[in-house]
Amino acid sequence: MDGVEEREAEFDGKAAAKLVKELRQSFSDGKTKGYDWRVGQLKSLAKMLAEKEEEIVEALRQDLDKPAMESFIHEILLLKEANSLALKKLKQWMKPQKVSSTAATYPSSAEIVSEPLGVILIISAWNYPFLLSLDPVVGAIAAGNAVVLKPSEIAPATSSLMKRLLAEYLDSSAVRVVEGGVAETTALLEQKWDKILYTGNGNVGRIVMAAAVKHLTPVVLELGGKSPVVVDSNVNLKVALKRIVVGKWGCNNGQACIAPDYIITTRAFAPKLVETLKDTLEKFYGEDPLESKDLSRIVNANHFKRLSRLLDSDKVADKIVIGGQRDEHALKIAPTVLLDVPQDSLIMTEEIFGPLFPIITVEDIRESLDIINSRPKPLAAYLFTSDKKLEDEFVKSVSAGGMCINETVLQVGNNNLPFGGVGESGMGNYHGKFSFDAFSHKKAVLRRSFAGEVSARYPPYTPGKMRLLRALVKMDILGIILALLGWRRA
């Protein structure tokens, strides 16, 4: 361990190259490819989650002042479920998938073999620093790869904890953590990887993709965007707003890539929505939400200033209808709702990633579809309605990474669904079996015996062989038999 710590204390391009070489050697030796190694690592992760829960919760509290309930539900529990599913299904996932043969390859058998890609780089985010780091690590290990994890330096307590715990519980010859900021990330991106998964914003995503192009490295980019929530007037408003509030402010106080970013509702319905939203927020977070223990703080001063800039913009400063209170020293911003904000305002053109919640009003709720589709494709889209026709239209016409109807954010809690973006909100996906697939190559394997030889496939090419080929194309079984016999049909 001393050698590892020394190398990473002075982590540059040379150290990064050495690290990748060491992990590639472990992979080449076949260490990570066997079922027993994969299962052993996943069991060690399960043990770590069981034994170190309090330390994980404390690290998240230090980084984000995250409520213990949120830390357990959104990070620890989701990771436990992902790891448990991988342990339960791994043997099935690793089993070659039999597929049908075709007339052109008869007699033969065919299958798809999942093989590990090699050495994986995972660059994680700060808002769910534990889950977004280790959920893809579960998939990479399950698929039989060696892994380097680069946690976010913006969540230093969690980053440091993961470095220590993974060195303690996992095989350090195949799984490593590299801490640091831009310099360390740059050094890592200079290396050749077999796949890179990055979670974060589009600007850095472009840098990651540009670096990957140099080595033709495939990437999974989990980015963000402005996730809309459309609220029809025919809903159970109290239930709808409880689900919207917990999806917005109950997820890191809005600092979540899938948190609702803005609301679209009708002009006539907006006053009732705002009034009910105000009551719901007060019930959840009290009359002074800055004092609430159930709201995370803003991650750092830079993000606090960024959110304040959005809020203080000339176009929206007078649009606040709920909240607006701020405490710069404590890095707290109350849940803040703004009504009828201009669509060209900063708050509507930049991803908010915080507790600010603008509302756009329209005359007819179906206008919301045009507004959403005029913008970059979001990571998530939400609709609350009792109108089945509108629901079907929303699912068919809105392109988003994922969506919920009459709910928010719960799509990520189902490991049978892929999680990923589309367009500017990302590319590729993971979760559950999709994580295993994301870090595997699907290798086509066709098997034949030395029997079943047909001379018609070999030169010299004759008219009779051409007739056989045409019969095969038409799947004309009688014609194939006649052609093989050299006969013509009348």
Q: What is the CATH number of the domain that holds 176?
A: 3.40.605.10
| CA 465 distance to own-chain centroid | 52
Residues 241 and 168 in one domain: no
d(C-alpha 294, C-alpha 290), whole Å? 10
pLDDT band per the 50, 70, 90 thresholds, residue 478: low
pLDDT at position 451: 83
Number of domains, the chain:
3
Q: Is the pLDDT of residue 2 over 90?
A: no
Residues classed as catalytic = 222, 257
Q: Is residue 103, in this structure, part of any structural domain at all?
A: yes
Q: Which whole number is the average pLDDT over 334-344? A: 96
* pLDDT at 7 (0 to 100): 38
Cβ-contact 316, 347 below 8 angstroms: yes
Range(s) of the domain holding residue 278: 228-420
Average pLDDT over residues 113-134: 97
Q: 359 and 266, same structural domain?
A: yes
pLDDT of residue 3: 41
Cis upstream peptide for 96 (omega within 30°): no
Cα distance from N-terminal residue to C-terminal residue, the chain: 82
CATH of residue 405:
3.40.309.10
- Asked whether residue 449 is assigned to any structural domain, the reply reads no
153 and 243 in one domain? no
Whole-angstrom Cα Rg for the chain: 27
H-type alpha helices, 190-333? 202-213, 237-248, 270-285, 301-311
Q: How many CB atoms lie within 10 A of CB 10?
A: 8
Going by pLDDT thresholds of 50, 70 and 90, the confidence category of residue 102 is confident
Are 335 and 285 in contact by the 8 Å Cβ rule? The answer is: yes
Stronger pLDDT, 442 or 454, i.e. the higher one? 442
Partner residues linked to 228 by β-bridges: 262
Shared-domain flag, residues 185 and 233: no
Q: Are residues 186 and 38 part of one domain?
A: yes
447 is a domain residue? no
State how far the alpha carbon of 389 is from the alpha carbons of 223, 332, 393, in Å.
31, 41, 6
Q: Rounded mean pLDDT of 316-344?
A: 95
Report the pLDDT value the prediction gives residue 175, as an integer from 0 to 100. Answer: 98
Instruction: Determine, yes or no, domain membership for 102.
Output: yes
Q: From start to end of 173-248, where are the E strands?
A: 175-177, 195-199, 219-222, 228-231
For residue 453, tell me if it sits in a domain: no
Range name among 140-149, 414-423, 447-456 with the lowest pLDDT average: 447-456
- pLDDT for 61: 97
Q: Is there a single domain that holds both residue 347 and residue 284? A: yes
How far is the C-alpha of 353 from the C-alpha of 262, rounded, in Å? Answer: 11
Q: Where are the alpha helices (DSSP H) in 321-380?
A: 346-349, 367-373
pLDDT at 481 over 90: no
- Torsions phi, psi for 457 (to 5 deg): -80, -10
pLDDT higher than threshold 70 for residue 390: yes
Residue 490 pLDDT > 70: no
Whether 451 is covered by a domain: the verdict is: no
Q: Are residues 232 and 219 in the same domain?
A: no
Shared-domain flag, residues 105 and 44: yes
The pLDDT confidence band at residue 485, using thresholds 50, 70 and 90, is low
Same domain, 311 and 238: yes
pLDDT band at 1 (very low <50, low <70, confident <90, very high): very low
> Which of these, 38, 26, 31, 20, lies nearest to 439 by C-alpha position?
38
Residues 207 and 241 in one domain: no
Q: Do 463 and 435 belong together in one domain?
A: no
Give the mean pLDDT of 266-291.
97
- Percent of the chain topping pLDDT 70: 94
Q: How far is CA 243 from CA 66, 266, 281, 473, in A?
A: 19, 19, 11, 56
Domain presence at residue 179: yes
Helices 131-142 & 156-169 angle (0-180, nearest 10): 30
pLDDT at 106 over 60: yes
- The reply to whether 166 and 270 lie within a common domain is no
Angle at 33 between CA 80 and CA 220, to 5 degrees: 60
Share above pLDDT 90 across residues of the chain, in percent, rounded to a whole number: 87
pLDDT at 465: 84
**pLDDT for res 163:** 98
Residue 454 lies inside a defined structural domain of this protein: no
Residue 483 pLDDT level (bands cut at 50, 70, 90)? low
Q: Which of 5-19, 176-190, 244-258 has the lowest mean pLDDT?
A: 5-19
